[in-house]
């Protein structure tokens, strides 16, 4: 295996609605910043891979247009996944492992504000037997939260505490969208949005983009002062049929975490992609993280949920915190699909 490191991370500030700029206009400064930070000239980066979905823009092949922000002349080697950018990073990592390239630019983007995000997410379910029933993203998460509540695996207070802590952490993240001090009792006094979820249990609607540059071995060491090494990266998935899963646990996260060797060393902090409060509890348990471990210092997806970037952002945030000296070994996680269906886990070291 080749040693592969994150050289740089950049993102837009997270906002509820990006009114002025289109995707390309949002991405250009992010790509500029991440390439400048990588120390590798743009035209020398070996591979470009992006993660996005046309369903957010309501426009087919919107990802092709986004390549304008990268500069595809002379023609570049480029790929795209209709998944969170974390999976684009996985593809790029594989490409480097295969020895085809030594460096890669990964980016992801989305303007959720243009559509009804929760309802758009219905379309990722089985189009014949499930989508016509119209379960939206929040309703599906509510089914999952109910399973754990009724089984006594977590309480509504546990969930509210995740929300309060995420927003408190977000106060130190200038790019976060929802931040501040919230009293758990006051949160619990709020009405249900989709029983048993209250508004604070759900992520905000966020527009945003993120980008990462990775490189192998010597190139990584020569290019930046503090490369953040991707020691392992694994992803697994559970059934797309919600009825075919035990929603209170996440076997795919557990397996990915084991394969990634999460437990084979001290973990200083974690960035977990949990768009709903109860999902952070599921993920902590699946990864075997200590109760007092710092999770989502960035505020996580509950403070800003740029769909298609929120997973890549967890990896980027974790690398940024390692560079800032806030720990030397971290777990970063990304999820995709309803109710934590697919999960990617990586271990980063400074």
For other proteins, the closer CB: 148 or 338: 338
For other proteins, the closer CB: 17 or 97: 17
CA distance 304 to 15: 8
For other proteins, the closer CB: 26 or 224: 26
- In which element (H, E) is residue 347 found? strand 342-349
Q: Report, in Å, the least distance between residue 283 CB and other proteins.
A: 29
Q: Report, in Å, the least distance between residue 159 CB and other proteins.
A: 30
- In which element (H, E) is residue 281 found? helix 277-287
Residues β-bridged to residue 107: 50, 211
Please enumerate in sequence order all residues whose Cβ is within 8 A of that of 258, keeping only pairs 6 or more positions apart, or say none. none
Please identify which residue in the block is written with the tokens 């070291």.
Answer: 349
Q: Report, in Å, the least distance between residue 120 CB and other proteins.
A: 6
Extract the tokens encoding 104. 């890669």
For other proteins, the closer CB: 67 or 188: 67
Q: Do 273 and 201 contact (CB within 8 A), yes or no?
A: no
Q: Do 172 and 306 contact (CB within 8 A), yes or no?
A: no
Strands 269-271 and 294-295: parallel
Q: Report, in Å, the least distance between residue 319 CB and other proteins.
A: 23
Q: Is there a cis peptide before residue 196, judged by omega within 30 degrees of 0?
A: yes
Q: Report, in Å, the least distance between residue 78 CB and other proteins.
A: 12
3-state secondary structure of 109: strand
CA distance 260 to 242: 26
Residues that bind other proteins (CB under 8 A): 18-25, 28, 31-32, 42, 55, 57-58, 65, 67-73, 111, 113-116, 119-120, 123, 127-128, 131-132
- Per-residue H/E/C for 275-339: CCHHHHHHHHHHHCCCCCCEECCCCHHHHCCECCCHHHHHHHHHHHHHHCCCCCEEEEEEEECCC
For other proteins, the closer CB: 112 or 232: 112
Please enumerate in sequence order all residues whose Cβ is within 8 A of that of 35, keeping only pairs 6 or more positions apart, or say none. 8, 41, 42, 45, 105, 213
Extract the tokens encoding 145. 């939260």
Q: Report, in Å, the least distance between residue 137 CB and other proteins.
A: 13
Q: Report, in Å, the least distance between residue 114 CB and other proteins.
A: 5
Q: Do 86 and 316 contact (CB within 8 A), yes or no?
A: no
Q: Report, in Å, the least distance between residue 122 CB and other proteins.
A: 9
For other proteins, the closer CB: 32 or 82: 32
For other proteins, the closer CB: 62 or 321: 62
Q: Report, in Å, the least distance between residue 41 CB and other proteins.
A: 12
For other proteins, the closer CB: 16 or 42: 42
* Dihedral angle sign, alpha carbons of residues 227, 335, 171, 146: negative
For other proteins, the closer CB: 25 or 195: 25
- In which element (H, E) is residue 35 found? helix 23-38
């Amino acid at each position: 295996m080749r040693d592969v490191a994150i050289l740089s991370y950049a993102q837009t500030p997270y906002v509820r609605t990006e009114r002025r700029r289109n995707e390309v206009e949002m991405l250009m400064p992010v790509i500029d910043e991440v390439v400048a930070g990588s120390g590798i000239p743009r035209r020398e980066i070996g591979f470009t891979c992006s993660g996005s979905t046309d369903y957010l823009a309501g426009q087919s092949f919107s990802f092709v247009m986004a390549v304008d922000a990268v500069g595809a002349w002379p023609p570049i080697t480029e790929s795209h996944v209709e998944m969170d950018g974390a999976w684009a990073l996985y593809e790029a990592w594989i490409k480097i492992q295969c020895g085809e390239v030594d460096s890669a630019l990964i980016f992801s983007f989305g303007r959720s504000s243009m559509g009804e995000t929760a309802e758009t997410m219905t379309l990722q379910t089985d189009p014949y037997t499930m989508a016509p029933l119209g379960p939206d993203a929040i309703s599906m998460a509510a089914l999952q939260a109910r399973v754990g509540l009724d089984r006594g695996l977590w309480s509504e207070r546990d969930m509210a505490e995740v929300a309060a802590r995420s927003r408190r952490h977000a106060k130190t993240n200038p790019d976060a969208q929802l931040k501040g001090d919230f009293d758990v009792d006051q949160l619990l006094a709020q009405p249900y949005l989709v029983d048993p979820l209250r508004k604070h249990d759900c992520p905000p609607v966020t527009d945003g983009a993120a980008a990462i540059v990775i490189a192998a071995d010597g190139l990584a060491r020569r290019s930046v002062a503090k490369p953040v090494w991707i020691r392992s990266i694994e992803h697994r998935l559970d059934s797309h049929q919600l009825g075919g899963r035990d929603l209170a646990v996440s076997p795919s996260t557990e397996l990915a975490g084991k394969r990634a060797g999460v437990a084979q060393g001290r973990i200083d902090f974690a960035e977990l992609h949990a768009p709903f409060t109860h999902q952070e509890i599921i993920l902590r348990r699946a990864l075997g993280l200590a109760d007092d471990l710092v999770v989502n210092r960035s505020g996580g997806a509950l403070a800003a949920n740029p769909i298609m970037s929120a997973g890549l952002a967890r990896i980027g945030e974790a690398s940024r915190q390692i560079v800032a000296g806030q720990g030397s070994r971290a777990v970063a996680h990304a999820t995709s699909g309803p109710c934590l269906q697919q999960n990617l886990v990586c271990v980063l070291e400074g």
